[in-house]
Amino acid sequence: MMKNSTTLKKGLNSAISYKKAIRSLVLGVLIFTGVDATLQAQEVAKEYSKPSWYFGLAGGANFNFYNGSTNQLTASFTPPVVFHKGNGIGLFLAPSIEYYKSDTRFGFIVQAGLDSRKAAFDQQFTDCNCPADLTTNLNYITIEPSLRFAPFKSGFYLYGGPRFAFNIDKAFTYKQGINPAFPNQIAPENETGDLSNVEKTVISMQIGAGYDIPLSKANTKTQLVLSPFVSFHPYFGQNPRSIETWNVTTARAGLVLKIGSGREILPVEEEVVKIVMPKVEFNVNAPINIPGEITVTETFPLSNYIYFDEKETKISERYVLLNKNQVGDFKEDQVEIFAPNTALQGRSKREMTVYYNVLNILGSRMQENPNSKITLVGSSEKTAIEAKTMAESVKTYLVTIFGINASRIETKGLIKSNTIVKTQQNSKELELMQEDNRRVAVQSNSPELLMEFQSGPNAALKTVQIITIQEEPISSFVVFNVDGATEAFSTWKLELTDANGKVQYHGPFTDEEVKISGNAILGTNPEGDYKVKMIGTDKTGEIVTKETNAHIIAWTPSKVEEGMRFSIIYEFDDAKAIEMYHKYLSEVVAPKIPANSNVIVQGHTDTIGEAVYNEKLSLARANDVKAILQNSVSKLGTKNVKFDIIAYGENEDSAPFGNNSPEERSYNRTVIIDVISLKN
């Protein structure tokens, strides 16, 4: 009974004390509101926006809860009992600074001031059955920066951040009573002093929520806001002492009274003037593109699959099919002469031209190597007979067009293929995967047909090498910048006049920055001087013009000694297929990497599956390639080779190809290796 009455009395005294503090804060709010209303009555002729900055005072109560244990209070005093749990109320009082805009969700709060974590431990009993009480008066100067988040762009907000607390008071009082069975005993004197081994600095965290209640009229210059708030400070990091296990958890409740000043909202007439006379800055940045030369040898992997359209057993029109008269002109290293009937651009055009010539490459190699043999294994989702018919279509083409002896080609048919079927795919993705299963696989044990160091039914065909020209990078484009255009103009365009008076137009545009290829502007000219006029249409229909001059130089590739690109391809959902390329990477690619070079390893996937999963898959593929190359280069003793990893996942903007055909999806399951060696 003694314990309960003592604790209750302490709680009541603390509660009464904090009720007075809160009452005083509310009374101050009411007085300040009255003064503020009087001042703002003189400003009714003007309207003001919501403030972005608020300055005020935060006050509240810390409800502190002790846990763990403490026993040794000072170096010279240790009570006969160990104290564990406890609770109490402490004062929180701090200036407050807040920044947030009324139409946004994010802002910040900084509060710094007095933070009391005092409390009383639960009463314990010594061996003599004497009650023992311990109270602490822990006080800190606290700094609490927080990120403010208003999820609904309303008065309700959440906040959270770190708490940095610096101890300023660590006093304690230890009381030991007498055994109730011996009322004539004299109680020992109270022990008081400062706790030993107290941490000078405590770093913890806090999360909370609040609600802004406006106390001023809207659209007035000085605006007053009252914000009730609650917050929670978990015990993480809140160990007051460097010894024992005592920790503190705190729940805080209080109010913030804050004041801010709005900006004057200009009358409509003044805004119209600003729109009619827009303030914009116009400049042109034409890069100094120094002419140079580059030789890039690109090595294309060649899949051993030919894909067939749904319900079709004849070779798809996507593939380049020659007649007998064209066979003599076909050269593997000049394959681009025979382009497919598909709309392709850039690297996709170069590589898919190679891939859609796979039958011609295979026929040409078999002509050059009369002892080579192949097995064509068709796969169908329907019947093995249909699958074999697909394989026979490929055989017929090789026999009739390239004159390959039919005895060198065996055909088989299987239901479906060994492609891994992932679960939890949507119907569209399952349909795409089924398209990928309709194919004929070229199998061979003839090394002259296969990629180096490979053999067996799943071995890829020998790679194809083509010398390519570096494409114009975006960094070489001419940049036209119109600062302020988004606010001043509805649209703007460019008028470029060369030295001969020839005019060309570009636009209209709405962005403030536009990049245009210098080569597109110059045409066949290596360089030229231009008068550049920016013609803007403001929001009232008026025309505003700005002029400047620009000297533009055509882009040519940067000077490098040698550029090489290699690629390897994977089976569906596979990052371990790299094992079949291990020797190729270590014994073919790695020896070609020179000293002082940069190796860029880029992982890709198709679009089947979740985007997050595909990003991880592309990273796993790229890291496998990097590990093999890095280890091989190190063993070869090649110095100063820098490796960069890029994981594109299924990102279609960065993908080598589209995802419209099974061939494109197949070749998107790739890692591309760029080797660049710059001249000194």
Packing angle of the helix pair 358-368, 384-402 (nearest 10 deg): 60
Could you tell me if 397 and 321 are in contact, meaning their C-beta atoms sit under 8 angstroms apart? yes
pLDDT digits (tens, 9 = 90+) for 410-445: 999 988 744 444 444 556 666 677 777 889 988 888
Partners of residue 465 on adjacent β-strands: 299
Partners of residue 528 on adjacent β-strands: 552
Alpha carbon distance 468, 294 (integer Å): 9
Task: Please give the helix or strand (H or E) that residue 393 lies within, else none.
Answer: helix 384-402
Alpha carbon distance 58, 110 (integer Å): 11
- Highest mean pLDDT, choosing among 17-21, 48-52, 110-114, 476-480: 110-114
> What is the rounded average pLDDT of the residues 22-50?
54
| H helical segments located in 41-170 | none
Pairing mode of beta strands 543-553, 527-538: antiparallel
Cα–Cα–Cα angle for 13, 19, 25, rounded to 5 degrees: 145
- Amino acid 69 reads S
Torsion of CA 43, 48, 52, 53, to 10 degrees: -10
Between these two residues, 170 and 669, which has the higher pLDDT value?
Answer: 170
Task: Please give the helix or strand (H or E) that residue 349 lies within, else none.
Answer: helix 346-355
Task: Please give the helix or strand (H or E) that residue 10 lies within, else none.
Answer: helix 2-40
**What pLDDT shows up at residue 277?**
43
Residue 398: pLDDT over 90: yes
Q: Which residues of 101-116 are buried (b: 16+ CB within 10 A; e: fewer)?
A: eeeeeebebebbbbbb
644: Cα within 13 Å, side-chain hemisphere: 9
30: Cα within 13 Å, side-chain hemisphere: 6
Residue 290: pLDDT over 70: no
Could you tell me if 658 and 432 are in contact, meaning their C-beta atoms sit under 8 angstroms apart? no
Q: Which of 578, 677, 576 is nearest to 628 (CA)?
A: 578
Cα–Cα–Cα angle for 128, 134, 138, rounded to 5 degrees: 165
Q: What is the layout of strands, in order, in the sheet containing 439-443? A: 305-307, 439-443, 374-380, 409-415
pLDDT digits (tens, 9 = 90+) for 446-462: 888 877 666 666 667 77
Partners of residue 121 on adjacent β-strands: 86
Scan for tokens 């390519």, then name that residue. 468
**What pLDDT shows up at residue 653?**
72
**What pLDDT shows up at residue 651?**
83
- The region, left, alpha or beta by phi > 0 then psi within -120 to 50, assigned to residue 161 is left
- Amino acid 55 reads F
CA gyration radius, the chain: 39
Residue 36: pLDDT over 60: no
